[in-house]
Amino acid sequence: MNRVSVLRFLQENGLYVGLVLSIGLILLGVFPIRNKNPYVALIPPQRVEGMECRILSNPVRTSSGKYYRCRGAIESVEGMVNNTQITSSGKGVVTLYIPSQIVELYYPGKLYSRYGTADNHGKLFMVEQGARFYFSAFYAEPLDAPLSYTPPPTYYVTEARPLGFSPGFWGAVAYFRGLCRLEFKRLLYGWGEAGGLLLALLSGSGEYTDTVVRDNFRKAGLAHILALSGMHVAFVSGITLSLLEWSGKYLSQVLAVPAVVLFVWFAGFTPSLLRALICALLGVYFRISGTKVSMLKILCLSFFIHVVISSEDLLEISFMLSYLALAGILIIGPLVEPFFYRYFPALMASSFSASFGAQVLTAPVTLGTFGYLVPGGIPASLVVSPLISVFFTVGVVCIVLAMVFPILIPMLGVIVKLLYTFAVIPVNFFSKIPALEFL
C-alpha cells in the first residue's frame, strides 16, 4: 500500500480510525476520565453533615423504591472539624440519595406525613432539576469506579428544607418545568396503569408504571422502551414532521428541531437522550448544508461532541448501550439483511436485521452487567415497537386534548387504556421466553 493509498484511506475513514484510537487510549488510561466538578470545600467530604445544594438531574427511583438518586451542585456545607461545628462555602457535584417520602410528598396517589421535611409554611416544593435545598445527610463510600475515575461524594439525605428555585430567568424556567412535570403526573395518574406507562415514555418517571408490566418489559428484552432513548426522540420527531409536512421537506426538519429540544429538556438530559439530540442536530445541519454524510459518521461525530460535553457519561451503562445499539443497527444490520430478506417480507426483514444488529453489539455490555441475554428481544421488538409507537402518538394527542378540553379527560382515558391493553399483551407473551443466563 503506497502513500497515496494510505492518505486516501485516512481521508475516507479518518473519523472511524480516530474513534477507535480514542476509545483505546481511554481504556488504557492515557486519556483519563476526569471529574469536571470535583468537591471543593474546607470540610472533608466524610465530615459533611449538612449542605445547601441545587438539584442538577431528574431524581430516579432506585430498584428498592426507598430512595431517589440524583446529582446536586453544592453551595455550602456544614460539619464537625476538630470537635467544632463549622460552615464552609463549597462547590462541586455530589450524588444524593433522597428518601421517597420526601420526593413523592406532593405526588398524586401518594400519602406521606411531613416527617423528613422541614416546615415550608404549606407551600408546594418539588425535588426537581433546578430546585435548591438544605439537606441533612450522611456520607457513604461510593462504589469503585473504573478507568481511574474519581466519583463524586455520595450522601444519603435524612431531612430536607426547601430553599426555592434559583432567582432569575433560568430559575423561573426550571420552576415552570418542574411544575409541568408534576401536573403531567397528576393528569396521567387518573388514567391508571396506562397513564403510568405514558408518563414513563414522556418523562422517564417510572413510579406509576405497573411493577409486573415493568418486569415483563425487562424479561422480554424490551427494557430500552421504558428507558428514554433515541427511539422516543424519533417518535417526537416523526409526529412533528407529520404535522409540518405542509411546510416542505427542509423547513419541516428545521421546525422539528425545537420540538425535539423541548422534549429532551422536559424529559431530562440522560446520556441516551443527549446522544439522540446531538445526532438529530447534526443530521439537520448536514441536510440543510447539502452535505451528504452517512449516519455512521454522524454517530462518530456525536460521540466526540458528547464526550466533550459530558465525559462522565462514558461510565454510564445507558451511554454504552445507546451508542452500541445504533452502531449495531448501522454496521451489523446491513450485513444480515440479505439473509432476512430471503424468508420475510421487506418491512419485517428490515426490522429483524436492525434488532439483530443492536442485540449483537450490545450483548457484551448486557452480559457483563446483567449476566444474561434475552434472545426473544428480537421478535419482541418487531411486534411491540409499532404498538408502542401508536400508543405514544395517540397518548400525546390525548394529553393535548385533555389540557384544552378537560371535560374530555374520562373519555380520552378510555382510549389510552384500550391501546395500553393491546400494547401490553405481546409484552406479557414474550416475557415467557426464557433468558440465557451465564452468571
Counting every residue written for the chain, the total comes to: 439
Lowest pLDDT segment from 94-98, 109-113, 284-288:
109-113
Q: Is 264 left (phi over 0), alpha (psi -120 to 50) or beta?
A: alpha
Can you tell me the mean pLDDT for 152-177? 91
Q: What is the mean pLDDT of the chain?
A: 84
Look at residue 258 in the predicted model and tell me its pLDDT.
87
Mean of the pLDDT values across residues 167-184?
A: 89
pLDDT at 147: 58
Predicted confidence at residue 121, as pLDDT, reads 47
Question: How confident is residue 159, by pLDDT bands cut at 50, 70 and 90?
Answer: very high
Of these ranges, 3-17, 88-102, 180-194, the one predicted with the greatest mean pLDDT is 88-102
Confidence of residue 64 (pLDDT cuts 50, 70, 90): confident
Q: In this structure, which amino acid lies at residue 22?
A: S
pLDDT for position 350: 83
Q: Which CATH number fits domain 40-174: 3.40.190.10, 3.10.20.30, 2.40.50.140, 2.40.30.10?
A: 2.40.50.140
Query: What average pLDDT does range 273-300 have in this prediction?
Result: 88
What pLDDT shows up at residue 207? 82
Per-residue model confidence as pLDDT tens digits over 383-405:
888 888 889 889 989 998 998 89
pLDDT value, residue 33: 79
pLDDT interval class at 111 (50, 70, 90): low
Contacts of 300 (CB under 8 A, 6+ apart): 15, 16, 18, 19
Task: Check residue 418 and give its pLDDT.
Answer: 95
Torsion region of 64: left, alpha or beta (phi above 0 gives left; psi -120 to 50 gives alpha): alpha
Does the pLDDT value for residue 218 go beyond 60?
A: yes
Residues whose CB is less than 8 angstroms from the CB of residue 51 and which lie 6 or more positions away in sequence, other chains included: 72, 74, 75, 76, 77, 78, 90, 94, 134, 135, 137, 155
Distances 98 to 66, 158, 228, 250 between C-alpha atoms, Å? 8, 8, 22, 45
SS3 290: coil
pLDDT in tens, 114-150: 555 555 545 567 899 999 999 999 999 876 666 567 7
Q: What is the pLDDT of residue 270?
A: 86
The full set of domain ranges for the chain reads 40-174, 233-315
**Residue type at position 59:** P
What pLDDT, on the 0 to 100 scale, is given for residue 48?
94
The answer to whether the CB of 85 falls within 8 A of the CB of 62 is no
* pLDDT in the model for residue 333: 87
Residue 403 CA: distances (Å) to CA of 186, 187, 412, 436? 12, 9, 11, 45
For the chain, give the percent of residues with pLDDT over 90. Answer: 29
Residue 279 has pLDDT above 80, yes or no: yes
Identify the weakest region by mean pLDDT among 3-7, 12-16, 388-392: 3-7
**Is pLDDT above 60 for 307?**
yes
Residue where the block lists cell 432569575? 168
pLDDT of residue 16: 75
Q: pLDDT tens digits for 233-249? A: 887 887 787 777 777 77
pLDDT at 108: 84
Phi and psi dihedrals of 115, rounded to 5? -60, 135
Higher pLDDT, 350 or 158: 158
Distance from CA of residue 184 to its chain's centroid? 18
Is the pLDDT at 370 greater than 80? The verdict is no
pLDDT at 114: 54
